[in-house]
Amino acid sequence: MTEYVYPVPSDAHQLGELLNPFLEETVSEKGLTPNQQFMVVLFGEDASETTDEAVEIIENTEPTARKSYDINQLSVVSVDERRLNTFTTSLLYALLETDPDQPLEETVTGDYIADEDERKVDYYLPRLIETMQTLLEEHSERFEENLADLFPVDLDTPDVRDMNERLEKDVVTDQVILDFLLLAAGSTEDENGVESLLRYIREEKIDQSEMLSGGSGGVAGYSRIIKISYLINKDSYNSEFRTARNLYNRSATSSLLRLLDETADIPIETGVTDEDSDDSEDDAGEDTPLETFYSSEQRVERLVTSQFQGNTTKIAERLLRAINGTRLIQNNSDTVNSTYQSQKESIESEIKQLHGELTSLEAHADEFEDTKIQVDTGRADPYEKLVRLVDETNSLIIRFLFGFDRAVRTSVFTTLEYNLKQYRETLFNHRTRVDELLEEIEALESRCQREVEELLDLYERLEATGVEVDVPDQATMTENLEEAWDEEIVQLRHELPEIDFTDEDGSPQSKLDEWDSQISECRKRLESLCEPIEQFGGTVDKLEQMGQKRNSVQNTLIEIDGLMEEQ
């Protein structure tokens, strides 16, 4: 601990002129940081009577010194013993008259002090040093007690250690751990609502699906933190989650939140001006503190967590960062609610589109007598209810987690919307292929009528030639064609493999490829049924050509006969 003791004569006419340099330089630079302690010592006649004036000067100075005083890192004390005061005053002026930067030991042992005053130094100096040490010890005790009151939480307990080990093992990264702590904090705002929400997600196994998984598309994952938050088999919060809730309840004190509020604009690095800070924010882009608090540290955070040691320090840092996050959420409630509402409407639109895609697939399934397309039209219902349960919770923190994107973590809604969209687009591609294949089947079915009409036309053309040809009965030929054609179509529809869109481990594409192959084989067989008609058509064409030649010869002979008669 570095201790800064600043003596000030209480009888000074301009106390502020003596006190301000210490406040604006030393305290402003090093205040609100760990292992620093500051003490202003007023001495002189009636020193204690000027304490209020000194405190007023501090309260009207720059924010670092002001907040340092509020949390007892900076204190104001007075030396009221008259003779000790007199000695201190004489000693101070002796130092000022010699070299104020010279160590005290060199001053009192040098030739600056008259021999008759050495006995006073030998008597009063140890008393002065003892008084200062006592005052510093009392100040240090008050400061430590105040830090403990600011952040009143015991992190060296079995429950906390178990929670931390689980988080380090299963959650791993700081950002996701912070979301776990925020989720726990949100549950303290609406215990029943959040419990219902988490229970529903676990019961419907939404957390076990890919819909809350991150990675692809740059979206964040939430499956792990939800899994370790609620136990289905016990129908209650997990022990680690309960521990996190208790920690938040005990540590998020009004005095801590007020301190974080009032020191938010104080730069963490010494020597950084407001202008420098503004420039750095501009360079960082448009992100707000609400979006970047995962990685943005306030100056006072290190001080508050400095009371912890070892592994508990990391736990304290994460817990304090989560508390600061809840502070920012509450301070920006309008922004959070507005963004949440926008994301809620966006994911509701995506769910509606998914409903439409599933309904379209179901309509195709109805085109078959037996099950050829298996689809769950209620697949989107759990996500619709999830959104409704979030909307019904009375927790702004939960709305933030579910409906507000951060710089390093997308919201639950954004993650869910992205994955639902990927699933819907896959369904759309499969459904489009089903559309095309069904159109091919319908084309094969309608072709039968065209072939029948072609057959009837050939019979009429044959009759028109006047040639006697031994051909099958027209009605029998037509009936046989229609029966054979229908059998092929029925067999095709029957043998098509089932496409199961409810099986997440299945492969609809492989089944669609089988459909394509079987339709192609059926087409070949149907074309073989058309071959006799084509041959029949060729025969009729030849007969018609022969008839045309015969008529041509007859016409020629008639013309010749007519010419001969004229002669």
Summarize pLDDT for 484-542 with one digit per residue, the tens.
Answer: 999 999 999 999 999 998 887 778 999 999 999 999 999 999 999 988 888 888 887 88
Tokens of 206: 């939404």
* The pair of three-digit structure tokens given for residue 109, joined into one six-digit string: 């042992």
What pLDDT sits at residue 550? 67
| Whole-angstrom distance, CA of residue 400 vs CA of residue 339 | 9
Question: Which residues are bridge partners to 5 per DSSP?
Answer: 39
Closest to 7 measured CA to CA, from 111, 73, 104: 104
Average pLDDT of the segment spanning 215-222: 84
Q: Tell whether the model's pLDDT for residue 102 goes beyond 90.
A: no
The model carries a pTM of: 0.82
Task: Take residue 203 and report the two structure tokens written for it.
Answer: 């019961």
- pLDDT value of position 120: 58
Asked if 194 and 398 touch (Cβ cutoff 8 Å), the reply is yes
311 contact partners, CB below 8 Å, separation of at least 6: 161, 164
pLDDT band, very low/low/confident/very high, at 276 (cuts 50, 70, 90)? very low
What pLDDT, on a 0 to 100 scale, did the predictor assign at position 398?
97
Q: Is the dihedral of CA 274, 278, 279, 284 positive or negative?
A: positive
Instruction: Output the CA torsion sign for 193, 199, 203, 205.
Output: positive
**In whole angstroms, what is the distance from residue 234 CA to residue 253 CA?**
31
DSSP state of 113: S
Backbone angles phi, psi at 465, to 5 degrees: -70, -25
Which two tokens mark 149?
A: 């009151």
pLDDT of 224 strictly over 70:
yes
Arithmetic mean of pLDDT, 53-73: 93
Q: In 3-state terms, what secondary structure has residue 398? A: helix
| Residues 488/482, Cβ–Cβ less than 8 Å | no
**Which pLDDT belongs to residue 275?**
44
Answer yes or no: is pLDDT of 274 > 70. Answer: no
pLDDT at 172: 80
